[in-house]
C-alpha cells in the first residue's frame, strides 16, 4: 500500500481577540513560516508572506473552522497537511 504524502505544521496562536473577532498566529511547516490573521466573523483568512501560501491556506482555514472554540492564545497545535513539502 502506498503511503499518502503528509507534512506536520505547527500552529501557534499569538492573539485571540473576541472584541475584534480575530485570531493572529504563526504557522511553520518544513522550511516555511507564515503569519496569519483570521477574521472569524467574516470568514476571512490572511496569510503572509505570499511565498508558499497556497500550500497552507486551505488546510489552515479548515483547521481554524474546526477548532475555533478550542483555540487559546499562547498555545501550540499540530496540523496535518496532505502534501509533502
pLDDT tens digits, 21-76: 999 999 999 889 999 999 999 989 999 999 989 889 999 999 999 998 899 999 99
Please report, in angstroms and rounded to a whole number, the separation of the first and last CA atoms in the chain: 21
- Cα–Cα dist 49/28, whole Å: 12
Cell of 43: 470568514
Mean pLDDT of 2-21: 93
Q: Which helix (DSSP H) or strand (DSSP E) does residue 27 occupy?
A: strand 22-29
Amino acid at each position: 500500500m502506498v503511503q499518502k504524502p503528509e507534512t506536520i505544521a505547527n500552529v501557534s496562536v499569538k492573539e485571540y481577540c473576541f472584541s475584534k473577532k480575530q485570531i493572529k498566529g504563526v504557522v511553520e511547516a518544513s522550511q516555511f513560516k507564515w503569519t496569519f490573521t483570521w477574521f472569524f466573523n467574516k470568514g476571512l483568512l490572511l496569510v503572509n508572506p505570499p511565498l508558499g501560501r497556497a500550500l497552507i491556506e486551505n488546510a489552515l482555514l479548515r483547521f481554524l473552522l474546526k477548532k475555533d472554540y478550542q483555540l487559546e492564545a499562547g498555545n501550540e497545535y499540530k496540523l496535518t497537511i496532505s502534501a509533502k513539502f
